[in-house]
Structure 1
């Protein structure tokens, strides 16, 4: 790893340094999407990350910088999904028999963990930083003894990310919104 790279947990609640990176992630997901890529046009830092950060019970943001410049991040939350277990957002594609974000498990808890975003700019993806961010995020999520399930939602067309999570102990659960997103999970 380069000597100029630092990895830090955001302590002061200022997630603004992730704005450009989050917007790049949404553009990256759109570029990979094979189903409804136009839906990513309405997804950005304000509509996705900032909103999720504000509504979560707990949040963690890990920021990677190269010589002080943000080049990647991981964003994780602990959420109460009691009211949103069967929610179907307005932006979501409609498909016959389509399922929402969460599986129809009888034992689906109200409180869950989620790795919302993990993103690194080109040039930083083969330095072990993704694994480091993933490990730090999982350590934080695992620190909540009352959280029994962790979810990761992978946008359609991003098979490399799906393979990354499946190779690290997550299992495929179901397609969300007719395949727009793939849900992976890990139980404690």
Structure 2
């Protein structure tokens, strides 16, 4: 664990997230059965602008850096809105680093921050095709509450 450094901030760190977010988006595109084009068309700048322009949103960014390689290898974006709904908006760790428990560390940091903001509800949205992460989130007390179906209009 000494090879990893956690960097915490807000929207000023979003540009460092971009390459990792694009890998997560590609993962969703490859694994989606029905919404591949949504992920193909989704651009990081649009997501970034959502965080920057929404004055009702408090944003926390956690990054993990591999110190030896001087490379960011994971991130988590968490948000709290004015209604005190906390969301783990996006979480990703490079595949070769997943054996070190870094996803757990990101989750714990995000949940600690959400708890410190005294949120009323905590939510996580899981993209169709990425259901294998549900077991990971269950370890933190997150369960399916509802399933939202969407008609494809392409």
Q: State the alpha-carbon separation in 1 of the partners of residues 135 and 87 from structure 2.
A: 17
Which of the pair is proportionally richer in strand?
A: 1
Please tell me whether residue 166 in structure 1 is matched to residue 138 in structure 2. Answer: yes
Give the TM-score taking structure 1 as reference length.
0.72
TM-score (norm 2): 0.87
How many Å apart are 1:160 and its aligned residue? Answer: 2.2
- Aligned Cα RMSD in Å? 2.0
Q: Deviation of residue 12 (structure 1)? A: 7.5
What residue number does 2:51 align with? 53
Which of the two has greater helix per residue?
2
Q: Which runs of 5+ in 2 are unaligned?
A: none
- How many pairs align? 148
Higher mean C-alpha displacement, 10-19 vs 118-127: 10-19
Q: For 1:134 and 1:11, locate their aligned partners in 2 and report how far apart those are by CA, in whole Å.
A: 16
User: How far does residue 11 in structure 1 lie from its aligned partner after superposition?
Assistant: 5.8
| Cα distance in 2 between the residues matched to 1:176 and 1:11 | 30
Q: What runs of 5+ residues in structure 1 fail to find an aligned partner? A: 81-109, 181-188
- C-alpha offsets along residues 104-163 of structure 1, whole Å, 9 cap, x if unaligned? xxxxxx331110000011101111000000000000011112x21011000111122122
